[in-house]
Amino acid sequence: MNDILRRKVISGTAAGAEGCPGADHGWRLGFARAARDAVGLLVTVTSLRLARRGLADLLELPPERALIVLLDGPAGGLGMIALSPELTAALVEMQTIGRVSPAVPAPRRPTRTDAAMVTPIIDRALVELEALLAEEADLVWAGGFRYASFLEDVRPLGLLLDDIAYRVLTMQVTMADGARQGQVLLALPAEGRGQMPTGLRADLADSGKPPDGMPVFAQALSDVVLAAGVTLDAVIARLSLPLGAVMGLAADLVIPLPDAALDRITLEGIDGRAMARANLGQHRGMRAVRLAEPEGSGQSADAPAAGAFAAAPPGGALGGSSGGTLGGPLGGMLGGPPGFPAPDPGVSEFPALGFDPGPGFLAAG
């Protein structure tokens, strides 16, 4: 009797670990939503299989001339997605001609242009999958993956992927009212490296509800958003020029930045909004910035204005004028009057910043 119960428990655990009904249902729905919302392609899933494969078997699964995308996941885990040529062609056609061509696409190898057009759809499908699994245990192994790089063929996967077990979702789809068929193959590490959904962690801890009474989905979404990467640009100065002035720039021209300073670096988001002030320096042999205290003068934290910036060659005038001034067609286009003085002719290059040999932060300037 104990052996029978043990086999039933193991069987039930294995079925749950294979993603039924979480990951397979989520991937079916997530990919269809992504294709519809991103490019207007209606995809019908005809079949979906979930299985465990070793690395050697996984390399044999992608269709011939498939578009191979490497995925980056939690804790350094790597996965992959393979789209059949028919599906790739349909996604590209929807973005170029607005419909799926009735003619069968000519066989060809996928290109980086194909990958650039398909990648946003793949990432959107993975985000949909993650949202649908916000309260499912399958989020541990199926969540947190995003596009990493495009591979021209399947051979580099043998070197890039770890030699471990993978959960492989093989999905057959039809498009254009069944006129074209395709395949999507998603392979992720079988042993999950992500975080358990908040609700399940709460159940395991017998707390009865997520922290602070926050709903499970909202807490899971918060965890995903807070773990997202953010790009910050360290800006020393900004210079705005008319198009005519930009086209007049040439090699060896020096563009002075009189209001710029290495201790007044602005950290800006991708929208150009100033987030903080910082000092430029070095740390462990690499360029680094140290956050500075907010300015209390009430001035805007934006980067220095470009109104007083000028450009001139080292040792002469720009535009053919004499006397060390900016004249000609560029005289009044660089933010100052036509007779704006040129920089010191003796200044022809800027001093390079050194590197500190130690582990600490070394300020520059």
pLDDT tens digits, 34-64: 999 999 999 999 999 999 999 999 999 999 9
Q: Rounded CA gap, 319 and 209, in Å?
A: 72
| pLDDT for res 173 | 95
More confident of the two residues 288 and 17: 288
| pLDDT for res 165 | 94
| pLDDT for res 323 | 34
* Residues in a beta bridge with 52: 167
Q: What is the pTM of this model?
A: 0.52
**Which stretch of 219-223, 260-264, 271-275, 333-337 has the lowest confidence by average pLDDT?**
333-337
SS3 for the chain is: CHHHHHHHHHHHHHHHHCCCCCHHHHHHHHHHHHHHHHHCCCEEEEEEEEEEECHHHHCCCCCCCCEEEEEECHHHCEEEEEECHHHHHHHHHHHHCCCCCCCCCCCCCCCHHHHHHHHHHHHHHHHHHHHHCCCCCCHHHHCCCEEEEEECCCCCHHHHCCCCCEEEEEEEEEECCCCEEEEEEEEEECCCCCCCCHHHHHHHCCCCCCHHHCCHHHHHHHHHHHCCCCCCEEECCCCCCCHHHHHCCCCCCECCCCCCCCCCEEEECCCCCEEEEEEEEEECCEEEEEECCCCCCCCCCCCCCCCCCCCECCCCCCCCCCCCECCHHHCCCCCCCCCCECCCCCCCCCCCCCCCCCCCEEECC
Residues in the chain: 365
Indicate if the pLDDT at residue 225 is higher than 90: no
Indicate if the pLDDT at residue 178 is higher than 50: yes
Asked if residues 100 and 41 have their Cβ atoms less than 8 Å apart, the reply is: yes
pLDDT tens digits, 301-347: 444 333 333 333 333 333 333 333 343 434 444 444 333 344 444 43
96 token code pair: 């170029």
Listed residue (74, 72, 110, 75) closest to 91, CA to CA: 110
Average pLDDT for residues 347-353, to the nearest whole number?
Answer: 41
Neighbours of 269 (CB within 10 A): 12
Indicate if the pLDDT at residue 264 is higher than 50: yes
| pLDDT for res 295 | 65
| Domains of the chain with CATH codes | 2-194 (3.40.1550.10)
Q: Rounded CA gap, 331 and 335, in Å?
A: 9
Mean per-residue pLDDT of the chain: 75
Give the percent of the chain with pLDDT over 90. 38
| pLDDT for res 98 | 92
Indicate if the pLDDT at residue 246 is higher than 60: yes
pLDDT tens digits, 131-153: 998 888 888 899 999 999 999 88
Indicate if the pLDDT at residue 68 is higher than 60: yes
Average pLDDT for residues 207-235, to the nearest whole number?
Answer: 68
| pLDDT for res 349 | 40
| pLDDT for res 166 | 95
Counting beta carbons within 10 angstroms of the beta carbon of residue 188, is it exposed (0 to 12), middle (13 to 18) or buried (19 or more)? Answer: buried
Q: Rounded CA gap, 195 and 129, in Å?
A: 15
Q: Rounded CA gap, 301 and 47, in Å?
A: 55
Strand order in the sheet with 166-175: 43-53, 166-175, 180-189, 78-83, 67-72, 146-151
Establish whether the linkage from the previous residue to 351 is cis, with ω within 30° of 0.
no
Q: Output the CA–CA distances (angstroms, integers) from residue 2 to 5, 8, 9, 12, 13, in the order listed.
A: 5, 10, 11, 15, 16
